[in-house]
Structure 1
């Protein structure tokens, strides 16, 4: 996803964390200083920041452009708006003395933060385009491996109710086999927290070459997955002491999937309601 000059005021720090792995060494020095001192940045000139971060003014300007701002001043204005309500650095800093209720509180708060930060970086245009692609799809396939495989299966489980023909594949061989049979009018959705999973990347690449449209769901804006997607939707998750980013991003991935399901269902209410009623009747005998 190429940044643009319409980047929302909120989410600048979140975007910076997302692209951090793809930055040059000099850009990372500037990014590190910004992330560690957001409140100080809004009072510095670009020259002062360059001196503090031990990098060049051109590097900072280039970093701001990569984030989608016209320059350092625009970034500072956006950052000042964001700092009105400081981002809470909530971590599951679990202590051996914590009882289970305290542990649950910390985990829940971390998940709430993950959802809030993911919502901040969503782009209306990307969400609407994704819904439009899914709405007009002849069939939809979801690809994911490992933890993201469970998300792909959940997406299949939910999208089945919309009345759109769909399938999910978590096996690498089945992914590329199914992708090769797609064509114009089909949509492939790849889910990968890192965006660097070779199997999911290859499946989307093959699907795209076959003529299908592709959607990605990942945590990193400059990941390989973005190179083989028409639209990419991003999560925001932080690694904590006792769980990885990939674990905490699951709830955000699920929320994005749910948003797409609701968006599609609202646009085809008759089919979605009819499908839901049929499914409810079919599973009625499975319950006591």
Structure 2
């Protein structure tokens, strides 16, 4: 798949400006090198403006630098990863355990590499200013949304999550500009989740998307999108593999929120511990 992006760069090369050719050469020399670089670092390395890098990404058909970087990450890293994690029916139990753990570690490492610092800061800012946070996800993503609620209820921030998609849609219709919707969808194309997202945005709520596809409708609709990178194997779908990345992003947002709301969080934890203590005999 790497060659698809590289071929696109090659086909456009004669029509690129001199500065854009510098970017093309930079990528073609070592496509994996750019995965760990921010747009600022690339522009500094090449002594060009950030806007030039951004326009180059647009010419390739990407929404921006982050989308191009994610595409390169999946194209460069995934084939190697799939080779190493190939599970055989002849593998013993321990070998399968080891391969699954290594796959999860790679998912975390790849996700960490493609997360954009600016997007992280904007996501934390939206979390901190929201009066209410609603976590949305359908199917397998509903489990991740409930896990998010289980964490964030400790922060002192008013938060909500519903397993039923109809309840989610009903709650989305009641959101306002003071609210934040955190939408979880690996594909970013689930019909129910997309309708929930559109409804939340129509009523003025801010939105964070946690997804694996930058060009997905939900990713495009969000104020901030945080992307995961995962791989598909014979025994595990890409969506299942992505959950470890989704959970880690939620963990990181949770800890950031705990730090920013330290006093409220401590008070919330005290009330929670007191309530739990009352149930003990």
2:264 aligns with one of 268, 271, 280: 271
1 CA distance for matches of 2:162 and 2:242?
Answer: 20
Residue 11 of structure 2 is matched in structure 1 by 57
2 CA distance for matches of 1:164 and 1:83?
Answer: 35
Helix, strand or coil for the counterpart of 1:242? coil
How many correspondences in the alignment? 237
Return the offset for 1:178.
Answer: 0.5
Q: CA RMSD in A?
A: 2.9
Change (3 A) 1:227 1:271: same
Residue 73 of structure 2 is matched in structure 1 by none
Change (3 A) 1:268 1:227: same
**Runs of 5+ consecutive residues of structure 1 not aligned to the other structure:** 1-30, 36-48, 63-67
Return the offset for 1:76.
Answer: 2.9
Helix, strand or coil for the counterpart of 2:98? helix
Residue 85 of structure 2 is matched in structure 1 by 92
**Runs of 5+ consecutive residues of structure 2 not aligned to the other structure:** 37-75
Does residue 171 in structure 1 map to residue 164 in structure 2?
Answer: yes
Give matches, 1:81-230, under 5 Å.
Answer: 81=33, 87=77, 89-90=81-82, 91-230=84-223
Residues 144, 243 of structure 2: 8 Å contact kept = yes
2 CA distance for matches of 1:69 and 1:150?
Answer: 46
| TM-score for the superposition, normalised by structure 2 | 0.76
Residues 143, 175 of structure 1: 8 Å contact kept = yes
Does residue 236 in structure 1 map to residue 206 in structure 2?
Answer: no
2 CA distance for matches of 1:180 and 1:83?
Answer: 39
| TM-score for the superposition, normalised by structure 1 | 0.74
| Cα shift readout 1:226-259 (whole Å, capped 9, x = no counterpart) | 2321110000001011010011111100000000
More helix by share: 2
Change (3 A) 1:190 1:59: farther
1 CA distance for matches of 2:12 and 2:199?
Answer: 39
1:262 aligns with one of 236, 245, 255: 255
Change (3 A) 1:80 1:235: closer
Helix, strand or coil for the counterpart of 1:161? coil
Helix, strand or coil for the counterpart of 2:81? coil
Residue 73 of structure 1 is matched in structure 2 by 25
Residue 17 of structure 1 is matched in structure 2 by none
Residues 140, 186 of structure 1: 8 Å contact kept = yes
Return the offset for 1:140.
Answer: 0.8
